[in-house]
Structure 1
Amino acid sequence: MRSTGTSRGVAVRRFANPQYGVACMKRTFRILLAVVGVLLALIIVAIIALPLLFDPNDYKAQINAAIERQIGREVDISGDIGLSVFPWLGLELGRVDVANAEGFGDEPMAQMNAAQISVKLLPLLSRDIEVGTVSLDGLRLRLARNDEGRSNWADISEHIAEGQDQAAEEEQTDAPEDSEDESGFTLESLQIGAIDIQDAAVSWQDATTGADYRLTDVTLSTGRLVDGEPVRLEFSGDVAAPAEKFAAEFNLITRIEPNIAEQFYRFSDLSLNVLANGEAVPNGQQQATLGGNGEFDAAEGRLKLSGVSLQAAGLNVTGSMDGTGLNAEPSYSGRVTVKRFDPRSVMRELAIEAPATQDSDALSSAGFDAQFTANNDSVQFKQVLATLDASSLKGSAGVENFDNPAATFDLDLDELNVDDYLPPGSAEQAQTEKPPETGGGQEQKEAEIDLSALKDLRLDGKLSAGSLTAANINVTNAELTVKARDGVLTIEPLTADLYEGNVRVSARVDASRDTPRYALKGNLNGLQFQPLLKDVADTERVGALANMNIDVTTAGKQVASMKRALNGTFGFDLRDGAFNGFNLAQVIASARSRLSGDGAPENGSGIGDSETTPFNRFAASFNVVDGVMAGRDLNLVTRVLEASGSGSYDLGKNALDYTVNATVPENASGKLSELAGLTVPITLTGNLMSPSYSLDVKSALRGAAEKRLQDEKAQLENKVREKLEERGAEVDGEVRDRIKQGLQRLFGGQKDAAPANENTDSSPDAQ
């Protein structure tokens, strides 16, 4: 009993001693460390020994079956399976084939030669995922769609979807209501050492469209992939479209900065190089380079591109874009610039034959710059600046409703000479070309005017031009308002200044009917006619201040039929001008001299470049009925004569039949004095641009002679009448005297004898 008490006391004293307690704790900790060390050693040995003791290739059948259950398609893992555990949990696969769907051929839908992936073990303890290099070699993916529109992966998608639905139902049934995903693994904690894909290929064949596209020799490599840190990406390969006889090599290099938590991705220093070749490629080969920077916010649905540049075929295009609402209703805005380029050089690069132009320097420089806004159904361009050689075009333009496009524009052109861009000699040909002679012969077969483009054209726009030259006619301050809808094109109005005058025109083309209809109405005021004729027809035959008006309609599919169907009115009024090339007064005088036998006058025939017929006014109006212009009110007033006229012009036959009656004033002097007061008929026939004329001076002279005879006869009659009146008074006195004498004799008056010869008086005066 004593000894026991002694032992207990010793124990109590030892326990109460702090040094003794510390020693015990140290010994216990050493034991625990030893145990843990032994366990870790056993684990490490087990991990190292596991790949040696466990061969995953022994379980290929089970692995195949598991994958087949997941995708519903036969899988063949013919290559070896490699497994590593420490310090990386790694998996290596050899050849794997996934069978194609029924009806899509015997080749596998997907296959690969080798794949490798590994995960570092220790970071998993802190819920971080560190993946090593993910490599894939020899991937082959054959995608297709049959003529019924079903793809060769549709059954896999359906099978996986069914499995996911079933798994979701089981989780909802078995899981507690307050269960949460407490795995702690997130994409933000994912790190991938690199991705390396070599010798991959993807093909797409669509039996519904006949499309056949192939992507081969694909290589994809990246640097270390960590959320929030930039990584270099390189992607290259070959693309081909055998049916289109097109192939291309491409190489893409860029830096990507992903932010997975915020679904925000940024790329910079993008460089895409493409080398295309094949029969479908102009000149058999073309090279293009694309560069730029961008940001994509998946959560906000926003894409922003900046510093975009494209070089191809001699073009250098730059721009920027901001796209919003990509998750709902996308809209885009930005700017695009095509830097100055040589159009002829670009056409050569694209195997397009550059047109020959009158101006050899034409098509030597062009450019484009504009801001744009767009959505899924429209695009608008604002602050447009387009240049072509010395011309520039500013304004806005757009297209709405891509399904049934409607174009709008409001543009201002500073200057343009259209003739510079026409084939050489076309202007001279237009001036010298004679109208076809159709009268009296069989009408030449003429092609119909194609107005099919108007059927679906929807247009609403305004165009102004500071200076515009076409067909050698120059107009300034031109303004045009044009609309097109439902096959009807209207121009209302077109206004312009030209040759010191101005013009206002409205026009309408109705192509909605089987036979197109046309209408034209316009007024021209204060035009200097001579420079216009010089520019249009290279002639100066008429010079005057001109006013004109036209209001006509027509219909037809050919120009000839349109001429025959022309109806309306036309008129002109020329003031203070001259007809050059002939002197009307001299022509009449010359004809009179020849008829009278006097020979040619000293002043010539009146025909020649130096001859002219000045006039104060030359005016006429015409009614147009079925292509025939008829008028009866032509009026010409010159310093030496006046003229009136009537007749017609058949547009369809290009036949002129007009008579001008030139009247010589009563007070005419000089070479027309002998024709004073007479009217000389002048007949115009033939082609309008080069008519034939004839003067009926003989009739005028015959009329003059008859008039002179009448005048002389009247003068003679007057003289005889005056003489008779004078002698009548004398005879009357003598008769009175003789009657008186006779009465005196009869009634006993004077009885003197009468004179001896009284009864024989037979003098003329007595008679």
Structure 2
Amino acid sequence: MKRTFRILLAVVGVLLALIIVAIIALPLLFDPNDYKAQINAAIERQIGREVDISGDIGLSVFPWLGLELGRVDVANAEGFGDEPMAQMNAAQISVKLLPLLSRDIEVGTVSLDGLRLRLARNDEGRSNWADISEHIAEGQDQAAEEEQTDAPEDSEDESGFTLESLQIGAIDIQDAAVSWQDATTGADYRLTDVTLSTGRLVDGEPVRLEFSGDVAAPAEKFAAEFNLITRIEPNIAEQFYRFSDLSLNVLANGEAVPNGQQQATLGGNGEFDAAEGRLKLSGVSLQAAGLNVTGSMDGTGLNAEPSYSGRVTVKRFDPRSVMRELAIEAPATQDSDALSSAGFDAQFTANNDSVQFKQVLATLDASSLKGSAGVENFDNPAATFDLDLDELNVDDYLPPGSAEQAQTEKPPETGGGQEQKEAEIDLSALKDLRLDGKLSAGSLTAANINVTNAELTVKARDGVLTIEPLTADLYEGNVRVSARVDASRDTPRYALKGNLNGLQFQPLLKDVADTERVGALANMNIDVTTAGKQVASMKRALNGTFGFDLRDGAFNGFNLAQVIASARSRLSGDGAPENGSGIGDSETTPFNRFAASFNVVDGVMAGRDLNLVTRVLEASGSGSYDLGKNALDYTVNATVPENASGKLSELAGLTVPITLTGNLMSPSYSLDVKSALRGAAEKRLQDEKAQLENKVREKLEERGAEVDGEVRDRIKQGLQRLFGGQKDAAPANENTDSSPDAQ
């Protein structure tokens, strides 16, 4: 038995020796270059395209079964030019023989040099590789049919060769280039100077990968250099891949690149489970143009209905610096420190049809915005938001001088005056806007008006924007307003309704119109509609109601009683003329109440119920104000009380008409003191007449028995002729006009 075993070992040894000798001798006895024609023909039959192996073919057998190829060209499809679709200068691959006995594949370094791959699509939408795919598919179908026909009926499935493991020493690709030209879109993209190198590739073990090259898009005038380094851990059997320490650097240049050149760096880690359709990214960071963006993402359902969730953070940055990096001219602002700091942080969820941001924290300078926002239905976007703003001064971000210009009649640097009135308001953004949101603000300043604790609910559908309600605290009072903008028609329509209660009017006027003319506790109401494409046409189409009720206040720089008294003094010649405007630094007209209501018809406000109650007189009034022309035409009837003293005593109990005309904020006025004095003279004559008649009547009654009827009638006729003749004997006084031209 032992002798037999020794003989078998000897036979096996001899056989192995013969095999080794044959393997070593094979390359010496066999030259694959002698069979180039057959190899070319075999490849052409497989792909249906002409192949030219012009370089040498090298073959090695032991201990590595290796193949070396020189220049190889694959012809292009008809109609795509004369250059080869694919070509390479050299390629090398080798497999270790002995591990094959245990069904293990151990591949050496796979190298490829000078690859050129020219991919294209013609104007009919057909690619230059479509015929290769079709030819291979036909061959596979034919082979499957032949195999099924030749297979014995009673044959059983065999497992065949099963791969136990795969190892690749390395991959080394040098000087590769890929181009893509699409005649249907005009796209022209080129990838050149590509290098790809890896370490040892073993399934389940990490490997280092380096990938670099140049990418260009000549039509877009864009080019970039890129370099990617990462560590990959593949698990081919389970279709699971992990990468870590990714570092991608891109240097872009060209006319399409801001400032002609930009650099970006991307880093992070990730996992991809192809079987489960899941992608996870962590520690992602992007640095570019002065921005530092970090984030993470978890994607699921990638094989069916993908959805994503994660977080994105834009660290604090200088917006002006970023705009300079991107060749964007930073706007000039009223506050030179505006646009100096910003940031963003939010969690997000997204799918093919929507994106939602939660726990939003956005900052701009000293302002911060918190809440949530989202967009649904990308084909017809609908936006939602619920945001809370702590404070914001909008005026800080307007052009220099805008706040002061807004208080003037024609702010030239902001397109004011007639040009602004005639400019059409662009509401095209409302046509397709779908919006549903809520916004609150702790403090908000705009157009010099400061509001606090503001809240609004806004909706937009089918070209109609609705704000209902807007509530806020305003100058120690509160406001509640609803508004509507209807841009669904050719001529936009507007509606505004609201109330102001407990408002301190003087600081509001100071901020809005830079005047302190009136100070009081104010209540106001407005309910108006209008239509138009320009501000001027909107003023002309204004209709509705407006009213105000001011309590416990004063007209600053205007003393109504003094104006009336001065006018009386000028008429009588016993006083110096006053300034025609009636304005003095220390002059005031305190009042208990100043109220009025107006009906607005086609841009003209008209009212008849003005009521003014001061400590020294009362007034009522009526008239109109044309918004389009900024023209005031109003008459105030000031009534002097019966117990008036001093210079007003001559007008005691009488009404002095005061006519207001011109600009609403600086009107001219005129006082008709002449009529008031004429009325006073007529009243005195009437009183004296009545007193004399009473005295005569008393005398007649005392001596009634002594005077007959005829004598009594003659006395009455004489009295009537006496007083009737003096009826027009009133003092000849003149009106007093306080307009600038009537001093």
Normalising by structure 2, what TM-score?
0.92
Task: Provide Cα deviations, 1:656-715, integer angstroms capped at 9, x if missing partner.
Answer: 111111111122222211101111111111111221111111111111112212222222
Question: 2:673·2:736 contact (CA, 8 Å) conserved in 1?
Answer: no
1:176 and 2:152 equivalent?
yes
Matches within 5 A, 1:695-706: 695-706=671-682
Question: 1:437·1:653 contact (CA, 8 Å) conserved in 2?
Answer: no
Report the Cα offset of residue 603 of structure 1: 12
User: 2:106 maps to which residue?
Assistant: 130
Distance 1:442 1:239 in 2: 53
Task: Provide Cα deviations, 1:140-198, integer angstroms capped at 9, x if missing partner.
Answer: 11111111111111111111122222222233333357767756655651111100000
Report the Cα offset of residue 416 of structure 1: 0.8
Report the Cα offset of residue 724 of structure 1: 2.3
Distance 2:614 2:253 in 1: 75
Question: 1:551·1:569 contact (CA, 8 Å) conserved in 2?
Answer: yes
Question: 2:670·2:736 contact (CA, 8 Å) conserved in 1?
Answer: no
Structure 1, 667-676 or 753-762: larger mean CA deviation = 753-762
Question: 1:439·1:653 contact (CA, 8 Å) conserved in 2?
Answer: no
Report the Cα offset of residue 545 of structure 1: 0.8
Call closer, same or farther: CA 1:215–1:759 in 2, change over 3 Å. Answer: closer
Call closer, same or farther: CA 1:246–1:744 in 2, change over 3 Å. Answer: closer
Q: For residue 532 of structure 1, give the secondary structure of its aligned residue in structure 2.
A: helix
Report the Cα offset of residue 115 of structure 1: 0.6
Call closer, same or farther: CA 1:751–1:709 in 2, change over 3 Å. Answer: closer
Report the Cα offset of residue 50 of structure 1: 1.4
Task: Provide Cα deviations, 1:216-252, integer angstroms capped at 9, x if missing partner.
Answer: 0000000111011001111011111111111111111
Q: Which has the larger radius of gyration?
A: 1
Report the Cα offset of residue 37 of structure 1: 3.2
Call closer, same or farther: CA 1:182–1:194 in 2, change over 3 Å. Answer: farther
Call closer, same or farther: CA 1:477–1:760 in 2, change over 3 Å. Answer: closer
Question: 2:394·2:444 contact (CA, 8 Å) conserved in 1?
Answer: yes
Report the Cα offset of residue 42 of structure 1: 2.4
Distance 1:77 1:414 in 2: 73
Distance 1:218 1:746 in 2: 124
Percent of matched pairs sharing the same residue: 100
Structure 1, 102-111 or 158-167: larger mean CA deviation = 158-167
Structure 1, 436-445 or 535-544: larger mean CA deviation = 436-445
Report the Cα offset of residue 254 of structure 1: 0.6
Structure 1, 442-451 or 122-131: larger mean CA deviation = 442-451
Report the Cα offset of residue 586 of structure 1: 0.5
Task: Provide Cα deviations, 1:83-132, integer angstroms capped at 9, x if missing partner.
Answer: 11111111111111111111111111111111111111111111101111
Structure 1, 687-696 or 445-454: larger mean CA deviation = 445-454
Call closer, same or farther: CA 1:72–1:443 in 2, change over 3 Å. Answer: closer
Report the Cα offset of residue 723 of structure 1: 2.2
Structure 1, 703-712 or 656-665: larger mean CA deviation = 703-712
Call closer, same or farther: CA 1:589–1:743 in 2, change over 3 Å. Answer: closer
Normalising by structure 1, what TM-score?
0.89
Call closer, same or farther: CA 1:284–1:214 in 2, change over 3 Å. Answer: same
Report the Cα offset of residue 433 of structure 1: 3.9
Task: Provide Cα deviations, 1:62-103, integer angstroms capped at 9, x if missing partner.
Answer: 111111111111111111111111111111111111111111
Figure out how many residues of one structure are paired with residues of the other and give that number. 743
Task: Provide Cα deviations, 1:448-506, integer angstroms capped at 9, x if missing partner.
Answer: 11111111111100000001111111100000100111111110111000111100111
Structure 1, 27-36 or 84-93: larger mean CA deviation = 27-36
Task: Provide Cα deviations, 1:557-580, integer angstroms capped at 9, x if missing partner.
Answer: 111111111111111111111111
Question: 1:188·1:227 contact (CA, 8 Å) conserved in 2?
Answer: no
Distance 1:757 1:422 in 2: 55
* Stretches of structure 2 lacking an aligned partner (at least 5 in a row): none
Question: 2:458·2:467 contact (CA, 8 Å) conserved in 1?
Answer: yes
Distance 2:176 2:435 in 1: 50
Call closer, same or farther: CA 1:689–1:185 in 2, change over 3 Å. Answer: farther
Call closer, same or farther: CA 1:710–1:757 in 2, change over 3 Å. Answer: closer
Call closer, same or farther: CA 1:189–1:406 in 2, change over 3 Å. Answer: same
User: 1:391 maps to which residue?
Assistant: 367
Question: 1:129·1:185 contact (CA, 8 Å) conserved in 2?
Answer: no
Counterpart of 2:5 (choices 22, 29, 34) is 29
Call closer, same or farther: CA 1:203–1:663 in 2, change over 3 Å. Answer: same
Counterpart of 1:325 (choices 298, 301, 309) is 301
Q: For residue 587 of structure 2, give the secondary structure of its aligned residue in structure 1.
A: strand
Distance 1:392 1:201 in 2: 49
Distance 2:518 2:498 in 1: 22
1:151 and 2:127 equivalent?
yes
User: 1:262 maps to which residue?
Assistant: 238
Distance 1:245 1:489 in 2: 42
Call closer, same or farther: CA 1:411–1:604 in 2, change over 3 Å. Answer: closer
User: 2:605 maps to which residue?
Assistant: 629
Distance 2:80 2:446 in 1: 62
Distance 1:409 1:277 in 2: 38
Call closer, same or farther: CA 1:188–1:257 in 2, change over 3 Å. Answer: farther
Report the Cα offset of residue 30 of structure 1: 4.6
Distance 1:554 1:93 in 2: 82
Distance 1:60 1:743 in 2: 151
Distance 1:314 1:518 in 2: 43
Call closer, same or farther: CA 1:740–1:62 in 2, change over 3 Å. Answer: closer
Task: Provide Cα deviations, 1:264-306, integer angstroms capped at 9, x if missing partner.
Answer: 1111111111111111111111111111111111111111111
Call closer, same or farther: CA 1:636–1:65 in 2, change over 3 Å. Answer: same
Call closer, same or farther: CA 1:88–1:754 in 2, change over 3 Å. Answer: closer
Q: For residue 705 of structure 1, give the secondary structure of its aligned residue in structure 2.
A: helix
Question: 1:372·1:382 contact (CA, 8 Å) conserved in 2?
Answer: yes
Report the Cα offset of residue 744 of structure 1: 40
Question: 2:206·2:233 contact (CA, 8 Å) conserved in 1?
Answer: yes
Call closer, same or farther: CA 1:186–1:596 in 2, change over 3 Å. Answer: farther
Question: 2:673·2:735 contact (CA, 8 Å) conserved in 1?
Answer: no
Structure 1, 618-627 or 720-729: larger mean CA deviation = 720-729
Question: 1:228·1:258 contact (CA, 8 Å) conserved in 2?
Answer: yes
Call closer, same or farther: CA 1:668–1:321 in 2, change over 3 Å. Answer: same
Question: 1:587·1:607 contact (CA, 8 Å) conserved in 2?
Answer: no
Task: Provide Cα deviations, 1:506-565, integer angstroms capped at 9, x if missing partner.
Answer: 111111111111111111111000011111111110011111111111111111111111
Counterpart of 2:69 (choices 71, 93, 96) is 93
Call closer, same or farther: CA 1:740–1:563 in 2, change over 3 Å. Answer: closer
Question: 2:681·2:730 contact (CA, 8 Å) conserved in 1?
Answer: no
Report the Cα offset of residue 51 of structure 1: 1.4
Report the Cα offset of residue 593 of structure 1: 0.8
Report the Cα offset of residue 424 of structure 1: 1.4
Counterpart of 1:608 (choices 557, 579, 584) is 584
Question: 1:287·1:312 contact (CA, 8 Å) conserved in 2?
Answer: yes
Structure 1, 604-613 or 244-253: larger mean CA deviation = 604-613
Distance 2:134 2:460 in 1: 51
CA RMSD in angstroms comes to 10.3
Call closer, same or farther: CA 1:177–1:698 in 2, change over 3 Å. Answer: farther
* Stretches of structure 1 lacking an aligned partner (at least 5 in a row): 1-24
Question: 1:587·1:605 contact (CA, 8 Å) conserved in 2?
Answer: no
Structure 1, 179-188 or 266-275: larger mean CA deviation = 179-188
Structure 1, 118-127 or 49-58: larger mean CA deviation = 49-58
Task: Provide Cα deviations, 1:328-372, integer angstroms capped at 9, x if missing partner.
Answer: 110100111111111111111111111111111111111111100
Structure 1, 47-56 or 365-374: larger mean CA deviation = 47-56
Q: For residue 582 of structure 1, give the secondary structure of its aligned residue in structure 2.
A: coil
Structure 1, 38-47 or 203-212: larger mean CA deviation = 38-47
1:472 and 2:464 equivalent?
no
User: 1:436 maps to which residue?
Assistant: 412
User: 1:16 maps to which residue?
Assistant: none
Report the Cα offset of residue 612 of structure 1: 0.5
Call closer, same or farther: CA 1:744–1:561 in 2, change over 3 Å. Answer: closer
Distance 2:457 2:740 in 1: 94
Distance 1:83 1:575 in 2: 107
Call closer, same or farther: CA 1:186–1:570 in 2, change over 3 Å. Answer: farther
Report the Cα offset of residue 34 of structure 1: 3.9
User: 1:221 maps to which residue?
Assistant: 197
Distance 2:742 2:322 in 1: 117
Matches within 5 A, 1:559-708: 559-600=535-576, 606-708=582-684
Question: 1:744·1:750 contact (CA, 8 Å) conserved in 2?
Answer: no
Task: Provide Cα deviations, 1:573-604, integer angstroms capped at 9, x if missing partner.
Answer: 11111111110001001001111121328999
